[in-house]
Amino acid sequence: MVKFSKQFEGQLVPEWKQAFVDYCLLKKDLKRVEHALLLGRHATAERCEAGLTAGGAQPTADRHAERAPLAQWLCHQLPAGLFGSSAAKDHGAIHVHRRPMAGPASRGGGGDEYETELLEPLAAADAAAARDFFAQLDAQLNKVNQFYRGKEKEFLDRGQSLRRQMDILAGLKAAAREDSNPSLSSGGCSEDESTRYAMTSAADTDQLNEPETTPTKDPSGTDQEDQQQELEGSRTFRKPVPQPKSLGRSASGCGRKSLKISIPLTNPSRTIAALTDVLWDELAAQSGSKKCSNPDGSAGKQGVSKTKLRHAEKMIRGAFVELYKGLGYLATYRNLNMMAFVKILKKFEKISGKQVLSVYLKVVESSYFNSSDEALKLMDEVEDIFVRHFAGDNRRKAMKYLKPAQRKESHAVPFVTGLATGCFAALFVGYCAMAHMAGLYLYTATPRGRGGDGGGGGDSARFMETAYPVLSMFALLFLHLLLYGCNMVAWRRCRVNYGFIFESSPAAGGELRPRDVFLACAASMAAVAGVMFAHLALVLRGYHASPHVQAIPGFLLLAFLLLLFCPLNVVYRSSRFRFLRILRNIVLSPLYKVVMVDFFMADQLCSQVPMLRSMEYLACYYISGSYRTQDHGFCINTKHIRDLAYAVSFLPYYWRAMQCARRWFDEGDTSHLVNLGKYVSAMLAAGAKVAYEKDESLASLTLLVAVSSTATVYQLYWDFVKDWGLLQPNSKNPWLRTDLVLKRKYIYYFSMGLNLVLRLAWLQTVVHPNFGSLDSRVTSFFLAALEVIRRGHWNFYRLENEHLNNAGKFRAVNTVPLPFHEEDED
Distance CA 245, CA 563 (A): 37
Alpha helices in 588-670 (DSSP H): 596-606, 609-623, 626-629, 634-637, 639-667
Q: How far apart are CA 322 and CA 142, in angstroms?
A: 27
Give DSSP secondary structure letters for 404-446.
PPPPPP-THHHHHHHHHHHHHHHHHHHHHHHHHHHTTTB--SS
- Report whether pLDDT(693) > 90: no
Q: What is the mean pLDDT of residues 640-668?
A: 91
Amino acid of residue 501: I
Overall average pLDDT of the 107-136 stretch: 74
The pLDDT score that the predictor gives to residue 722 is: 94
* pLDDT at residue 128, as a whole number: 83
Q: What is the mean pLDDT of residues 37-45?
A: 74
Residue 221: CB atoms within 10 Å? 11
% residues pLDDT > 90 (the chain): 43
Handedness of CA 784, 785, 788, 794 (dihedral sign): negative
pLDDT band, very low/low/confident/very high, at 112 (cuts 50, 70, 90): confident
Give the Å distances, CA to CA, from 731 to 45, 247, 340, 624.
48, 43, 31, 59
Q: What is the pLDDT, as a whole number, of residue 672?
A: 95
What's the pLDDT band for 458 if we cut at 50, 70, 90?
low
CB contact at 8 A, 679 and 657? yes
DSSP string, 155-172: HHHHHHHHHHHHHHHHHH
pLDDT category at 580 given cuts 50, 70, 90 is very high
Burial class (CB in 10 A: 0-12, 13-18, 19+), 192: buried
Among 39-48, 186-195, 271-280, 652-661, the minimum mean pLDDT is found in 186-195
In this prediction, residues 747-760 reach a mean pLDDT of 94
Q: So what's the pLDDT on residue 201? A: 37
| Amino acid type, 788 | V
Q: Is the pLDDT of residue 207 over 80?
A: no
Instruction: Give the pLDDT confidence score for residue 629 in this predicted structure.
Output: 81
Angle CA 579–585–590, to nearest 5: 165
Sheet order of strands, 246-252 included = 246-252, 257-264, 820-824
Burial group, residue 636, by CB count within 10 angstroms (0-12, 13-18, 19+): buried
pLDDT score at 86: 40
Q: Between 603 and 769, whose confidence is greater?
A: 603
Q: What value does the mean pLDDT take over residues 199-206?
A: 37
Q: Which amino acid is at 514?
A: P
Average pLDDT, the chain: 79
Given a cut of 60, is residue 107 above it in pLDDT?
A: no
pLDDT in the model for residue 764: 76
Do 605 and 460 form a contact (C-beta atoms < 8 A)? no
Q: Is the dihedral of CA 799, 803, 808, 812 positive or negative?
A: positive
Q: How many CB atoms lie within 10 A of CB 755?
A: 18
Give CA separation, 388 vs 166, 384, 385, 541, 647, in Å. Answer: 12, 6, 5, 69, 53
Most confident of 99-103, 189-193, 705-709: 705-709
In the chain, what are the helix, strand and coil shares in percent, each to the nearest 5?
A: 70, 5, 25
Lowest mean pLDDT of 188-202, 380-394, 440-454, 768-782, name the range.
Answer: 188-202
Q: How far is CA 777 from the centre of its chain?
A: 37
Are the C-beta atoms of residues 510 and 504 closer than 8 Å to each other? yes
Q: What is the DSSP letter of 100?
A: E
Percent of the chain with pLDDT over 70: 75
- Start-to-end Cα distance in the chain: 69
Q: What is the pLDDT, as a whole number, of residue 38? A: 80
Whether 251 has a pLDDT exceeding 90, the answer reads no
Question: What would the mean pLDDT of 110-123 be, rounded to a whole number?
Answer: 75
Most confident segment among 39-48, 458-467, 794-803: 794-803
Contact 519, 527 (CB under 8 A): no
Position 678 scores a pLDDT of 95
Give the span between the Cα atoms of 755 and 607, in whole angstroms: 13
- Segment 511-563, tens digit of pLDDT: 789 999 999 999 999 999 999 999 889 888 888 778 888 889 889 999 999 99
- Predicted pLDDT at 57: 46
pLDDT of residue 53: 58
**Residue 658: what pLDDT?**
95
Whether the CB-CB separation of 30 and 351 falls below 8 Å is answered with yes
- In this structure, the number of other CB atoms found within 10 A of the CB of residue 325 comes to 17
pLDDT band (50, 70, 90) for residue 447: very low
| Secondary structure element (H or E) that encloses residue 94, with its range | strand 94-100
**pLDDT of 756 strictly over 90:** yes
Mean pLDDT across 20-38: 88
**pLDDT above 50: residue 675:** yes
pLDDT tens digits for 325-384?
999 999 999 999 999 999 999 998 888 888 888 899 999 999 999 999 999 999 999 999
Q: What is the DSSP string of 14-42?
A: GGGGGGS--HHHHHHHHHHHHHHHHHHHH
| Residue 311 DSSP SS3 | helix
Crossing angle of the two packed helices 459-493 and 609-623, in degrees rounded to 10: 140
| Cβ(653)–Cβ(679) below 8 Å | yes
Radius of gyration of the chain measured on its C-alpha atoms = 35
Report the C-alpha gap between 222 and 204 in whole angstroms.
14
Cβ contact 238:191 at 8 Å = no
Position 119 pLDDT exceeds 90: no
DSSP structure string for 235-273: GG-----S---EEEEEEE-SSSEEEEEEEE--SHHHHHH
Distance, in Å, from the CA atom of 477 to the CA atom of 514, rounded to the nearest integer, reads 16
Q: How far apart are alpha carbons 297 and 303 in whole angstroms?
A: 19
Range of lowest pLDDT (228-237, 424-433, 812-821): 228-237
In this prediction, residue 182 carries a pLDDT of: 60
Q: Phi and psi for 238 in degrees, rounded to 5? A: -85, 60
- The pLDDT tens digits for 44-77 are 777 666 665 555 544 444 444 444 444 444 444 4
